[in-house]
Chain A
């Protein structure tokens, strides 16, 4: 394999990055900022960029301060953070399993979170914070169960996936059963949670998701560099000085943590964890799981989806996962069709 890109060396560390990856990442970052600006300025109450900027640096008037700082900015930030968390979580799992279909759903994760949330809604009638906590506990507990069930002198990726499928179907049917047995108002609340979305997300959400991402993202990037080595097989990785089992455990734990926090904050957002790493991979043209472009792509998809939900369908409450599914799906189709045409031309 030809090694391309530039090498940065300092006294202690040196690393290589590819030009195209950097360009794509910068473009994605600009797109996130652009969509963010549209989100902050447009809506029922139009603001100019100058007014938004004034509010952001603390010099705005009361009305725009309220709209920007209390309503729109926390929602936007939650969207960005949740997008990053889900995309990185999916990117890690796809790299670990070498399967483009792998996403946190297959570890029973999303269904377990839903079970936790529904149990809280049905049994203790909790508020938004309790439901979020229930989702967090449910998701993590389900993932631990899956990991333990799959453990047999180490965890083999294939077995982990199959057992994850089995467990997530049990949780799914448990959820359906709970919803059919619950009272109507509980069932509606549970359904609303399962739909997911960023409505009414405030600074509390930003703080929780933000601190989780701040801790787990650097860890993910650090361990993510070993993903390429793990893909060569356990023996080779060991020969290159990587403890395969421990690295795999760390990566799974990081992935679960990120998915847990994201799901607790925004409910299940379908398809994003699957699509973002794949889209990023196709744009950068790199083989590995470029986690940084994947994270930016996730953030872009989610804020763009949220913008579409807020502005295009506005009176109807369309879940953000639907919009991200449509945007991400169409984009992926377009990329595939583009490659298809190129294939014909060749």
Chain B
């Protein structure tokens, strides 16, 4: 897309500084990931953790690390990155700072499909839910996208946002009505709905990973077009950008990322909404930097919160959704006060 070449949104810092910042963030992410393998209810010394990780000797410790902690950490990496990226995409597509991945109806579409699966088809395994969640997420986002377009032309930000909010409200009503009327379904559903990384097995990780990786590739490829989108519809069109194609591909990427993340870990709200703002505060409004920053920062928060949740009320665990907001929100507020806010 040659025209996008001329479009360089102003950012606060130089490319070198932003690349260095991204490297530091990746370093922190690696540190947190290693921490998540080491810290837990069962005390395993660091050296032993390391050794067992490299040589699976079949001991209790090896089983704990290979079957519990590694899948859990990987899941945090995938889900966190997917949610952060989906949030950044959503906000860029709708040019709305309040947009979160849940808004395209994706999360509620997934929830509604899982409820249908539980209440009417008798599917009970998490691996069975994933496909339903996916189908629901895709269906909801297609409906939102079609409603959000104004017939002749491609979707506009305000209509997308409203259509998403409306579909979400209706699906919430549907889910609640089914759950109120069917106590048995409620009991199965609430375990999925908690929004947790715990108890996710390696096969769940390998099941969602391809979708998330495709979504990541698609999203990163769109970064330039999103920069053009940020200039507004008129300017974008004048520059020769295909806005409809960008929005459609963006919506597809959000569905893949968010559908997979929601299917795997249940709805986790805070990350998709706030991480992109943090990314913009650090990296400016250039999407070519905002998207990678969002991918790296989000799992730091999610895995970090998961680790803290294991420690604070040990031997019990605090749900990762609760800890994420407790840890992330104060930092987020402080950043909002300190930094110059980067608009979309």
> Is the A/B pair a real complex?
yes
Chain A interface (Cβ < 8 Å from any Cβ of B): 99-102, 106, 149-150, 152, 156, 158-159, 161-163, 165-167, 169-170, 172-174, 176-177, 180, 270-271, 274-275, 278, 313, 316-319, 322-323, 325-326, 328-330, 332-333, 336-337, 339-346
Decide if B322 touches A165 in the complex (CB within 8 Å): no
* B170 x A325 contact (CB < 8 A): yes
Q: Mark B118-160, 1 if CB is under 8 A from A, else 0.
A: 0000000000000000000000000000111111110000110
How far is A97 from B322 in the complex, measured between Cα atoms in Å? 28
**How many A-B contacts at CB < 8 Å in the complex?**
154
Inside 8 A of A346's CB, which chain B residues have their CB? 151-152
Report whether B163 and A344 are in contact in the complex, using a CB–CB cutoff of 8 Å.
no
Cβ–Cβ < 8 Å partners of B148 in chain A: 336
Please state if A342 and B147 are interface contacts (CB–CB under 8 Å): no
Specify which chain B residues have a CB less than 8 angstroms from the CB of A173 in the assembled complex: 321-326, 329
Mask of B234-266 contacts with A, CB within 8 angstroms, 1/0: 000000000000000000000000000000000
Chain B: interface residue total (CB-CB under 8 A): 53
A339 — nearest CB in chain B belongs to which residue?
B150
Contacts of A102 in B (CB 8 A): 98
* A159 x B341 contact (CB < 8 A): yes
Find out whether the CB atom of B162 lies under 8 angstroms from the CB atom of A332.
Answer: yes
Given A316-B180, A322-B172, answer yes or no on A333-B147 (Cβ-Cβ < 8 Å): yes
B15 at the interface (CB under 8 A from A): no
Q: Which of B176, B329, B341 contacts A319 (CB 8 A)?
A: B176
A-contact 0/1 string along B318-333, CB 8 Å cutoff: 1101111110111011
Contacts of B167 in A (CB 8 A): 329, 333
Identify which of A106, A172, A278, A336 contacts B147 (C-beta below 8 A). A336
Q: In the complex, are the beta carbons of A167 and B329 less than 8 A apart?
A: yes
Contact B152 A101 (CB under 8 A): no
Give min CB distance, B320 to chain A, whole Å.
Answer: 11
**A343 and B322 contacting across the interface, CB-CB below 8 Å:** no
* A99 and B96 form a contact (CB under 8 A): yes
**Is B202's CB within 8 Å of the partner chain A?**
no
Q: Say how far A17's CB is from chain B's closest CB, in angstroms.
A: 25
Q: Are A328 and B169 in contact (CB under 8 A)?
A: yes
Contacts of B333 in A (CB 8 A): 149, 163, 166-167
Which listed residue, A101, A156, A159, A333, touches B170 by the CB 8 Å rule? A333
In the complex, which residues of chain A have a beta carbon less than 8 angstroms from the beta carbon of B146? 340
Per the bound structure, the CA–CA distance linking A313 and B158 in Å amounts to 34
List 14 contacting pairs A-B, 8 Å CB cutoff, sorted by A: A158-B97, A162-B341, A163-B337, A169-B270, A169-B329, A170-B325, A170-B326, A173-B329, A270-B172, A275-B166, A316-B180, A318-B180, A325-B172, A326-B177
